[in-house]
Structure 1
Amino acid sequence: MKKATIASPMKIGNLPLKNRLILAPMQQNQGTLQAMATDYHVRHYGERAGDVGLVILESTGVSPNGRLYPNDIGIFTEDHIAPLRKVVDAVHSKGTPIFIQLTHGGRKAWPEAILRMVAPSPVAYDDFYGVPEEMTKDDIQQAIAEFRAAARRSRQAGFDGIELHLAHGHLLHQFLSPLSNLRNDEYGGSPENRLRLIREVLEAIREEVGCGYPVQVRVSASDFADGGLTPVDVAHALTYLEELIDAVHVSSGGTVPVPPLTDGAGYQVPYAAIIKQYVKVPIIAVGRIYTEELANFILADELADFIAIGRPMQEDPRFAGKLLGA
């Protein structure tokens, strides 16, 4: 059988993609004080959409208390839909689908951009963010409702799919990691309990968008700290979610302020390869995969199914086209 390359087509769920290159979500910090997308986003994503198989929009807040920055973008009101639809239209005009990344910052929400900081447990990420409030059962139900409403608005805005952000120390990652979740109720303790909120959010999203609409997750495969999540822990958790998702985007870190041991070329690919052994849905590798040779090696050796590229695309909108020889 012919080995896959970055030029090979493939599907995520039922959605066909023309090649295996994905524009990774990268924060642009160009939103308004009300978290609205702007003409900057229309231009930025439109300029980068032509060569990749898929665009993933930057982190988009589902709650006014989950914003990551004072100038990020959100989808927590009906007013957010129209500006985001302009971004979708710009990407679609290049013949490329676009997913939205839905996020709640939890204890890593920007203190000056929110009214109330909540998390699974009253444990601070660091001194800058401070100690959050432990979420009550009502808070948890509200978060589920916010993700549900964001999924509905995402479809209304014309997005072709959703990436649910379970990585980088944000709220859903905080529930999954034993370093940030010290609860002793049904949302804490055992791995199954720490996974409960994520599953309930995914079920709520599925109820809104249906089974044929692509929904993928971005995970941090390692917490880089003793007692934290390992790639095998995350892989096991994903086996309980696989029926609800269409792909897994594999990153790392962010629960605690500990850097990775290395950040060399392809440094997160081994995590993707481990997770690929446990789940059958497509795996997206990311992290300094900047050459055609490395990208094609990863695909040909079946370490991952897609390659996401961030920083080089930020600097050069045609970077993906150059990798493809276009």
Structure 2
Amino acid sequence: MLTAQTALTLNSPITVGSLELRNRLILAPMQQYQGSPEGYATEHHTQHYSRRAGELGMMIVESTAVSDNGRLVPNDIGIFTDRHAEALKRVTDAVHAAHTPIFVQLSHGGRKSAPEVTRKLVAPSAMAYDDTYGVPSELTAAEIEALLEDYRLAARRSIAAGFDGIEVHAAHGFLIHQFLSPLSNRRTDAYGGSREGRSRFLRDTLAAIRSETGRGYPLIVRVSSTDYTEGGLTPQEVALMLKPLETEGLLDGVDVSSGGLLPVQPPDVHPGYQVPDAAAIKQHLHVPVIAVGKIYTRPFADRIIADGLADAVAVGRPFLDDPDFAQTLIG
């Protein structure tokens, strides 16, 4: 006898890598601008994240720099020394007390690194984001190897800090996004040119992280689905870059955002405006896909998941004003 399949909802459990989440609501990474001058997490971070942890399936902390030369803002936090990991351990301990998994978001700003705390601005190609940042130096082969080592050591420290998984920041115009897009990557070596070449730095970054974490540790990637400019990335192009990485076992999920490579804005920012891009990328992949972007009501979130447009929903800004916002969606 045939039985109707129960529709998935925001409350349905989901597995990311080896980690089972109790529901599909994720706290999106949002900058707190409260790091110490040296890039350490502070008591603010411990209180902020633990206060919001209760009902969530999992949370992703804000951008966390893998290098002291790649911080996104002067009061960014980092994980580029063991002492930084010790400060972050206080955050993960507090969140775990609320029985919620917590991921770190590893990042490097590349040509969008904060000028105030950047010794040498670097990027795949010597092309400026704008006049504020200035023209970066094109990364040499040796400098690329050093950056991959930064990511590897950051992964080791992420485990030591107690994080349950890692999100690699490959979106919003920062370093890895700069490698991915033909608008910012004009290299003629193995890290440029073709789709395979432009995605190689992301691939090598994930492989470096996996060398520390092993296959069972959850590893996801945040991508920008589009550059909002002709000749830039599209959802289909991004999906075709990610598919070989999934096949290699290098990623366990994809967090789909958009834009940031150039100083241009989306033409229309409405509720769920990035969901169609998440759905387009999901068609090519088997790993969970996370949708984000003004998804603020339970019926809307449930419809996205039930219709198979995405596997989970990330929410950011409402949690800044209301630490208990999860109860609005999950309660």
Give me the TM-score of the superposition, normalised by structure 2: 0.97
- The runs of 5 or more residues in structure 2 that have no matched partner are none
Letter of the 1:275 partner, please give it: I
In structure 2, what is the equivalent of residue 312 of structure 1? 318
Partner SS state of residue 59, structure 1: strand
Q: Does 1:273 align with 2:274?
A: no
CA distance in 1, matches of 2:23, 2:82: 33
- Give the structure 1 partner of residue 99 of structure 2: 95
Q: Do structure 1's residue 148 and structure 2's residue 152 form an aligned pair?
A: yes
State, as a whole percentage, how many aligned pairs show the same letter.
58
Letter in 2 for 1:306: A
Residues 1:238 and 2:242 are matched in the alignment: yes
Q: Deviations over 1:74-122 (max 9, x none)?
A: 0001110111000001110000000000000000000111111100000
1:159-198, CA deviations, whole angstroms, 9 ceiling, x for partnerless residues?
Answer: 0000000100000000000000011111111111011111
Task: State the shift of 1:240 in Å.
Answer: 1.4
Alpha-carbon distance in 2 for matches of 1:115, 1:73: 17
Return the offset for 1:14: 1.1
Whichever residue aligns with residue 172 of structure 1, its letter is I
- Report runs of 4+ in structure 1 exceeding 2 Å deviation: none
Residue 301 of structure 1 aligns with which residue? 307
> Counterpart of 1:65?
69
- Structure 1 residues 100-179: aligned runs within 5 Å: 100-179=104-183
| In structure 1, C-alpha distance between the alignment counterparts of 2:324 and 2:11, rounded to whole Å | 15
Cα deviations across residues 273-294 of structure 1 (Å, max 9, x unaligned)?
0000000000000000001111
Residue-by-residue CA offset, 1:116-146 (whole Å, 9 max, x unaligned): 1100000000110110000000110011000
Contact 2:298–2:328 under 8 Å retained in 1: no
SS in 2 for 1:11: strand
Task: Give the alignment's Cα RMSD to 1 decimal.
Answer: 0.6
Q: Deviations over 1:246-272 (max 9, x none)?
A: 000000001111111211000000000
Tell me how far apart the structure 2 counterparts of residues 85 and 66 of structure 1 sit (CA, whole Å): 21
In the alignment, which of 18, 26, 30 is matched to residue 22 of structure 2?
Answer: 18
**Residue 49 in structure 1 maps to residue 53 in structure 2:** yes
Between the aligned partners of 1:297 and 1:256, the Cα distance in structure 2 is: 32
In the other structure, the counterpart of 2:187 is 183
* Number of residue pairs the alignment of both structures matches: 325
Shift, 1:17, TM fit: 0.5
In structure 2, which of residues 11, 27, 37 is the aligned counterpart of residue 7 of structure 1? Answer: 11
CA–CA distance in structure 2, aligned partners of residues 211 and 251 of structure 1: 25
Separation in 2 of the partners of 1:97 and 1:110? 30
Take 2:16 and 2:164, find their aligned partners in 1: how far apart are those partners?
11
Tell me what 2:265 maps to: 259
TM, length-normalised to structure 1: 0.99
Aligned partner of 1:216: which letter? I
The residue identity in structure 2 corresponding to 1:198 is L
Q: Please state whether the residue corresponding to 2:156 is helix, strand or coil.
A: helix
